[in-house]
Structures are given as structure tokens and as C-alpha cells.
Amino acid sequence: MDNDLIQRCILDFHEAGLPEYITRDVCPALMKNMVTTIVGGRKTGKTYLAYQAIGDLLRAGSIPSLARVCYLHFDDERLLEMQAADLRRIDEVFLGLTQAAPGDPLIFVFDEIHRIGGWEFFALRLNRNPDWRVMVTGSSADLEEDKVGRQLRGKTLTTRLYPLSFREFLRFRGQEPDRNEYSTSETARLSRLFGEYLTTGSYPAMRDTACEDRRELLRQYFNSIVAADFLENRHIMHPLSCKLFLRNMLRRNAGPYMHKKERNALASMGHPVPANTISDWFNWACESYVIGVNAINSPSVKKQEQNYRKLYAIDWALAGAVSAFREPRTTQALESVVYWELQRRGLQTSYEIVGAEKFEVDFVAGMPDSPPCMAIQVCMDLSDPSTVAREERALTRLVQRLGSDLEPLIITLHDPPAGIELRYPVRKAWQWCLDMEGMRKGNLR
């Protein structure tokens, strides 16, 4: 690898400057003696979050200019032949460019560096300098948290990036409210925009994609996930069966899943797959952020395995795009919005089955390593008294079982009519998503 080529790649970034970006709510932290990793599903904006982190350092005065930043994207075709032995050239070339004095802060940002075997030893060497900070980004399939934690000997700080929250969706459209109090007209506007969020989904690129092209783009995203995260990285032995499995998983958005039933379903379609293979595919789908999973609320692993798990597609519009149906699936989309918002707030979630009638409570949530403190039902419409009674009955049974410290909440798309009597608090979904106090403190309500 030629030093001049590495120098040219670094200078290209300095000359081009930071591209325009829209700020996300998550902020990667660059800490002494820690390698910062940004992980998330494909097409969620990890590269632009790295740009945001650099911009934050510039605005804070932590670095005087981009000349103190070594940014390399290893998807650049000029760097495709780079080997582990070539990595040591990077800081040599960069130091020659910056002519930084000892003690000057320097930032190293490497996008998709996982393509080079042994990259972690290079990152650890850079990390030993107390004045240097190192950030790496990549898909979760390539930067699995447990694996990277072992490779970097525990010296890693992980930032998880999901697709857009509703507040970020509004910001990307230049529509973000500046307060948590809303006039009648503002309420109507935000309710309409939340309806668009449910329809278009949460991928950043949807903002600039024409309506008629969105479904096709989402299908391309799905094909990219299958090809890159599974067929190439995992060396799948049954590629067609795997693609069908992943499509079925997304189709089950906000629905139940069990390994045995899925294996039988694939076999009935002429795709017999070993049980351990199904389990592997499922785990890889979770690691790649293709799906999120809610297990039943129980400390017993055996009980969790005996009961179905509920799946949540990383993006509800993606789930719709790969499905055969064309009718709206708003109920499933709304439940997905709530699930991923809980994940963004750093909360641990599960579902519950209560009573002999086996009523389901959609989410039991709380801070990690703490008892659950909130029970949430997600309901599209509370205009029917029987629907209200069903949702409240499940919450009542759960409060009776787990104790009065558990706070019930119903999240809905539309306000209930004035004549409907409600026993528990009700919040419209868009208002709950925009609750800044909840986002800051990890609150649920």
C-alpha cells in the first residue's frame, strides 16, 4: 500500500469538509482509553453520526480544525487492497500531514474498518496514546458487541443507532416542535405527520425518496441485508431458504414466533432446514438489527423458550414492502413504534400473559437490572367500550399479580370519545414519542 494513496484519501476528506447532516438525538461519546464503536442496522445513518460527532468536537473547541481528524472509509475502492500490515502506515502518514505537537488532540475515525483482519490491534495501539481518540463504525453483523468487546479487551464504548425516532423524523422534514405544549392546530399537524411516519417508516433516506419509489427502495434494502449480512458474512448453506426465512420474520412484525413452527412452515414450502440452522439464522437476525425480540416476562430461560416470542421489524415499512399484502397494517406499525422507542430510551422490555383467559399485555418495561415499573398496552382505537374493557382487564390482572408499583399506561392513535370511561392513563402515541422529559430520563410515560 502506497503512503501517497493513504495521504490522498485523508486529504480528500479535509478538502471536501464535513457534508451537511441532520442531527440525531444519540451522541457518541469519545472517551480516553476507550474505542468508540457505532453499530446499527444497514442504512440507519452510522456514517453521518460519525460526521456529527466530529462536528460536535469542532463546535466545542476540542479540536481546532478538520486537519486534526484522520477519517478513512474502507469501502473506498482505493483502500480495498489494504492489509493488516498496512494499517501502521495510517498514523505515520497522518502525523506527517498534521505536524501535531506531543499532547495535541487527534481524532481517528474509521468507517467499515472491520473489512481488514486484525484491525482491532491497530485500534488498541492508537488508543494507548492518551491524547488520541478512536471511533469505528460498521454494521452490527460485523461489529457484534460481544465479539468486539473481547477483541478490544473491554476497551470499547458502544453507541447503538436505530432508524429515525418520530422526533428525528420531524427534524429531517424541518417540522420539529420546539415545545411540549401544543395548540389545536399544532396537534392536528403533528397527528397528521405521525400518520406519515407510520406509512413511510423510519429509514432516513425515505425523506428524499418519491412515494412511488419507496416500496422498491425498501425491497432493495432487504436484498442488501440478505446479501451482505447473511450470504456473504455468514456463508449461508441454504441461501433461498434463508431469504424466505428472513422475509417471513419481517412479515410477522408485532406477531408471535417460535422456532419449531417456523421450521415446519419452511418445510411445508419445500425448504427443510435443520433446527440448529433456524436458531442460528434467528440469532443473526437479532445481531444484525433486522428484528427486535420481546420474550415473555420471566427470569426462567426455560419458560421463555416454551412460550412464543414477539418480533418487531427494524422498520415497519420494510416489513410491509417485503410482504405480499398491500393493505395497511397500522396496528402492527404502531406497536413497532412503541417497541423501538422503548429501546431508544434504554429500557428492557418483555410481554406478559395473565389470567386463565391468557390476556396479553404488550409491554412490561423497566430499566435494565431493575424490576419492571410500567405496563403498556398499545391500542389503535378506544372508541369501543369492549376494547377498553379488554385492554384494562389485562392491565388490572397484571397489577394485581406484580404489585401496585407497576404503572399502567395505554398508548393509542386516537383520543377516546368523551363518553368512554377510562380507569388508566391514556396517551396519544405521537405525544408519548415526543416526550423530551421521558427521553432524557428514560421515563416511560
Same domain, 299 and 425: yes
Please report which confidence band the pLDDT of residue 151 belongs to, taking 50, 70 and 90 as the band edges: low
Which comes out higher in pLDDT, residue 287 or 140? 287
Residues 92 and 180 in one domain: no
One domain, residues 111 and 259: no
Q: What angle do CA 207, 76, 223 make, to 5 degrees?
A: 50
- Among 145, 161, 177, identify where a domain stops: 161
Q: Is 146 exposed, middle or buried (0-12, 13-18, 19+ CB in 10 A)?
A: exposed
Quick one: pLDDT band at residue 335, thresholds 50, 70, 90? very high
Q: Tell me: do 320 and 293 sit in the same domain.
A: yes
Query: In this predicted structure, what is the pLDDT of residue 115?
Result: 85
Q: Structural domain tally of the chain?
A: 2
In DSSP terms, which residues pair with 70 in a beta bridge? Answer: 108
Strands 359-366 and 374-379: antiparallel
Q: pLDDT per residue over 51-66, tens digit each?
A: 999 999 999 999 999 9
Question: Which of 125, 145, 161 finishes a domain?
Answer: 161
Indicate the pLDDT class of residue 355, thresholds 50, 70 and 90. Answer: confident
Q: How far apart are the first and last CA of the chain?
A: 55
Q: Which one, of 129, 103, 106, lies nearest residue 10 by Cα?
A: 106
What DSSP character marks residue 230?
Answer: I
pLDDT band at 330 (very low <50, low <70, confident <90, very high): confident
Average pLDDT of span 15-36: 93
pLDDT confidence of residue 436: 54
Mean pLDDT of all residues in 369-389:
92
Q: Say what the pLDDT of residue 23 is.
A: 96
- Are the CB atoms for 69 and 109 separated by under 8 Å? yes
Average pLDDT of the chain, as a whole number: 90
Compare 29 and 51 and report the one with higher pLDDT.
Answer: 51
Find, among 404, 406, 409, 415, the residue nearest to 392 by Cα: 409
Question: Would you say residue 438 has pLDDT above 60?
Answer: no
Instruction: Note the pLDDT of residue 440.
Output: 43
Judge residue 240's burial from the number of C-beta atoms within 10 Å of its C-beta, 0-12 exposed, 13-18 middle, 19 or more buried: exposed
pLDDT by residue (tens digit) across 414-427?
Answer: 888 888 889 999 99
pTM of the predicted model, to two decimals? Answer: 0.92
Q: 37-46, 262-271, 297-306: lowest mean pLDDT where?
A: 297-306
Any idea what the CATH number is for the domain that residue 83 is in?
3.40.50.300
Closest CA to 412 of 317, 333, 334: 334
Q: pLDDT at residue 444 above 70? A: no
By mean pLDDT, which of 46-55, 196-205, 395-404 is the weakest? 395-404
Same-domain pairing of 296 and 333: yes
Beta bridge partners of 427: 411
d(CA 165, CA 171) in angstroms, rounded, equals: 10
Per-residue pLDDT, 240: 93
Kindly state whether residues 179 and 141 are assigned to the same domain.
no
238 lies in the same domain as 375: yes
Same domain, 179 and 242: yes
Q: What is the pLDDT of residue 404?
A: 76
Q: If pLDDT is split at 50, 70 and 90, which confidence band does 304 have?
A: confident
Confidence band for 442, pLDDT divided at 50, 70 and 90: very low
Give which of 97, 71, 268, 292 is closest to 202, Cα–Cα: 292
Answer yes or no: do 286 and 419 share one domain.
Answer: yes
pLDDT at position 50, please?
A: 96
Among the three residues 161, 181, 202, which one is the final residue of a domain in this structure?
161
**pLDDT score at 439:** 45
For residue 172, pLDDT beyond 60: yes
Residue 323 grid coordinates? 410482504
297 shares a domain with 355: yes
Q: Please, which pLDDT band fits residue 114 given cuts at 50, 70 and 90?
A: confident
More confident residue, 439 or 139: 139
pLDDT digits (tens, 9 = 90+) for 119-146: 889 999 999 999 999 999 986 566 666 6
Q: Do residues 105 and 212 share a domain?
A: no
Indicate whether 250 pLDDT > 50.
Answer: yes
Average confidence (pLDDT) over 172-188? 88
Domain of residue 371 covers 168-441
**Least confidently predicted of 40-44, 166-170, 232-236:** 232-236
**Domain match, 175 and 62 both:** no
Residue range 184-218, pLDDT digits in tens: 999 999 999 999 999 999 999 999 999 999 999 99
In this predicted structure, what is the pLDDT of residue 74? 93
